[in-house]
Structure 1
Amino acid sequence: MSETKVLKAEARTRVGKGSSRELRRNGLIPAVIYGDKQAPLSIAVSYKDIYYSIHGGGFKTTVITVELDGKKIQVLPKDYQLDPVRDFPQHVDFLRVSAKSIVEVNVPVQFINEEKAPGLKRGGLLNVVRHEVELVAPANAIPDAIVVDLEGLDIGATVHISSVKLPKGVTPVIQDRDFTVATIAAPGGGVKDEAEGEAEAE
């Protein structure tokens, strides 16, 4: 789990495009905190802090402490909007969480020991079916990544979610099938891509 970050915020009394443009001119962007059966809070946060958090990776799996009017609010980034041309953040949605909250979150997949996979040594190709996996996890124990160990895997091998070790209390959102995370395909695609069928089914 990533270390909890602190983000200073100020309340927004005005909403709308004009207000948002004014915030951006002052180095801020609009954001909303919602959830936990409480009324949404309209806030403004530092553009610079959000920009580096988004482009630094792990933004949507990191619990953030928002400091607002002397109060501390635990949140999880759920969505954000970027400028379609310049990739600048324009708005952020935060979900209010607590230590007991259970959340659904997309977690990136990380592959290790590629150099110890016989199939890759013999020219096989790592076919990544899922770059992220949607998990159900405690808000205070979201993994930074799902680690897939490729050691010993040969051409034709398939990595299913059941073979991936997940932290205690963390489960896949998809429970009705043992879905594929990756395969090691023969050079030139000699092994049928199981992902194609899964993608069509979804």
Structure 2
Amino acid sequence: MSVKQISATARTQVGKGAARAVRREGKVPAVIYGAGKPPVSIALDAKETNRLVYAGHFLTTVFEIEVEGSKTRAIPRDYALDPVKDTVEHVDFLRIDAGSRLRVDVPVHAVNAATSVGVKRGGSVNIVTHSLSVLAPADKIPDSIDVDVAALDINDSVHVSQIKLPEGVSYAGQDDATLVSIVPPVGEEAAPEAEAAAEPADAAKK
């Protein structure tokens, strides 16, 4: 994956009051931490930061942050939004060292939906797991986990064990999660397996 460049300025003042002052200047307060080094408080351009966040894949993108001539590679770990304006209020960056592996949540995408056997028969693509937790080298974090649904018919599904992850990337979860399924049209009966699974639950309610 590519590394994106972003510039920032150092912040000497921290705390809620200082953060509000930074925002009034059209910037976003942020911090870089980790790798056994002291945290560094920085300020990012607000317009650029909001553009990056809303462009997607923000939390799986590695950035090279330049602060007064010094460059640091880091990945966003979290960000806060204004509850009213939905603008970015704060960003936490984690430093990454060469060769380090990170646990990240990667978005799951269904591809070839238009040619899916089940979709052509009136079914719909249902993304059951919207993001997958994986362990990946810092320089090989996938932008997304793409699940090909072209061959799926109605009531078919794809689980984690059925997909091939990129080289060096491993699943960080425990269960064989369902990623994507093709659900029948509204009003159509569910698959026999689904009905059978529902019967014990119905009986337990009586």
TM-fit CA distance, 1:98: 2.2
Matching of residue 186 in structure 1 with residue 184 in structure 2: yes
The residue identity in structure 1 corresponding to 2:60 is T
TM-score by length of 2: 0.88
Cα deviations by residue, 1:34-80 (Å, 9 ceiling, x for unpaired)? 11111111111111121100011111111001111221100000100
Task: Name the structure 1 match of 2:69.
Answer: 70
1:132 CA displacement: 1.1
- State the partner residue of 2:151: 152
What is the TM-score normalised by the length of structure 1? 0.89
Offset at 1:99?
2.6
State the one-letter code of the partner of 1:177. D
After superposition, give the CA deviation of every residue in 1:74-108 in whole Å (9 maximum; x if it has no partner): 00001000000111111000000023111111111
Which amino acid is the alignment partner of residue 190 of structure 2? G
Q: Which residue of 2 aligns with 1:29?
A: 28
Unaligned runs of 5+ in 1: 194-202
Structure 1 window deviating more from structure 2 (61-70 vs 110-119): it is 110-119
Residue 61 of structure 2 corresponds to residue 56 of structure 1: no
Provide the C-alpha distance between the structure 1 equivalents of 2:127 and 2:32, rounded to a whole number of angstroms: 34
> Matched residue of 1:109: which SS?
strand
Identity value in percent: 45
Which residue of 2 is the match for residue 17 of structure 1? Answer: 16
> Which residue does the alignment assign to 2:199?
none
| Equivalences for residues 159-198 of structure 1 within 5 A | 159-174=158-173, 176-188=174-186, 190-191=190-191, 192=194
CA distance in 1, matches of 2:117, 2:4: 41
Counterparts in 2 of 1:104-115, with a 5 A limit? Answer: 104-115=103-114
Matched AA of 1:71: S
Q: Which runs of 5+ in 2 are unaligned?
A: 196-206
2:110–2:180 contact (8 Å) kept in structure 1: no
For residues 94-130 of structure 1, give each alpha carbon's deviation from its aligned partner in whole angstroms, at most 9, with x where no partner exists: 0000231111111111211112221111112222111
Which has the larger Rg? 2
> Within 1, Cα distance between the matches of 2:102 and 2:117?
38
Consecutive aligned runs of 4 or more in structure 1 exceeding 3 Å deviation: none
1:109-148 aligned at under 5 Å gives the runs 109-148=108-147
**Aligned mates of 2:90, 2:79 — CA distance in 1:** 6
- SS for the counterpart of 2:175 is coil
Question: Over aligned residues, Cα RMSD in angstroms?
Answer: 1.5
User: 1:119 is paired with a residue of what secondary structure?
Assistant: helix
Aligned length: 191
- Offset at residue 156 of structure 1 (A): 1.8
Counterpart residue number, 2:203: none
